[in-house]
Amino acid sequence: MSGKKVLVVDDDVKTVELVKLYLNRDGYHVITSYNGKEALRLAREGHPDLIVLDLMLPGMNGLDVCRILRQESDVPIIMLTALTTDDDRLTGLNLGADDYVSKPFSPRELAARVRAVLRRLPGERGPEKVTHGDLTINFLKHEAYLSEKSLNLTPIEFKILGVLAKEPGRVFSRAQIIENALGQDFESFDRTIDVHILKLRRKLEKDSRHPKFIKTIYGSGYKLMENNNGS
């Protein structure tokens, strides 16, 4: 993990310096920014391996920065914010954030989150592309196709489908999907997985009431079927 580049963005100088100190101790090369527009420029020019991004920034807020970056790359993003409502978290995650840390926070915990997210980088955690029948998922391009037609998945839908597709036939509990797809503890959100699965089925299945791709294992969770005939 040592040697990876992390961009830390926050308008509070003390917060930036504290996070930088802890990440430097872990061997990361840290670059910093204090506003959204500069963060976007540094992300484009500096090609960091991960971004720690505050939500409330001058000029351009963190959600806008995240939204723009997700149109251009799949660089991991950890949102850092004092806003802690369920809607705030889900908004960030649906825009493509990989993790969410609430202020006030422990810099040691944040450093651990950075390590955890970087361990899930595509090049370190599995194939760049998987194919199951007519379904193709390209992790590098962050794209999914069914019969060569784009599924137009949201970032969180893509992550959930990716978890299931990397191990077809394996049953994942809601908690395991959350852990593997979102990378953090969201017990209070686990039923939202059902909502995202429902949306995925609407995009994947001809008849979402009789799914051929994602099967519900009652009392256990979900799995991607190893073939597409319902078994």
Q: What's the pTM?
A: 0.57
- By CB atoms closer than 10 A (0-12, 13-18, 19+), residue 191 is exposed
Separation between Cα atoms, residue 65 and residue 62, nearest integer Å:
5
Separation between Cα atoms, residue 104 and residue 93, nearest integer Å:
19
pLDDT at position 183 is: 61
Q: What is the per-residue pLDDT across 19-44, written as a single tens digit (0 to 9) for each? A: 999 999 888 999 999 999 999 999 99
Token pair 């670059």 is at which residue?
31
Binned at pLDDT 50, 70 and 90, residue 1 comes out as: very low
Q: What is the per-residue pLDDT across 154-212, written as a single tens digit (0 to 9) for each? A: 888 998 998 898 888 889 888 788 877 776 544 445 577 888 899 999 999 888 678 88
Question: Where does residue 79 fall: left (phi above 0), alpha (psi -120 to 50 degrees), or beta otherwise?
Answer: beta
Closest by alpha carbon to 175, among 144, 207, 220? 220
Binned at pLDDT 50, 70 and 90, residue 94 comes out as: confident
- 3 state DSSP class of 100: strand
Tell me the helices (H) and strands (E) count for the chain, helix number first.
9, 11
Token pair 């953090």 is at which residue?
184
Residue count (the chain)? 231
Domains of the chain (ranges; CATH) run 5-123 (3.40.50.2300), 126-224 (1.10.10.10)
Binned at pLDDT 50, 70 and 90, residue 228 comes out as: low
Separation between Cα atoms, residue 139 and residue 159, nearest integer Å:
9
Q: Provide the angle, in degrees to the nearest 10, between the axes of the packed helices 13-25 and 107-119.
A: 60
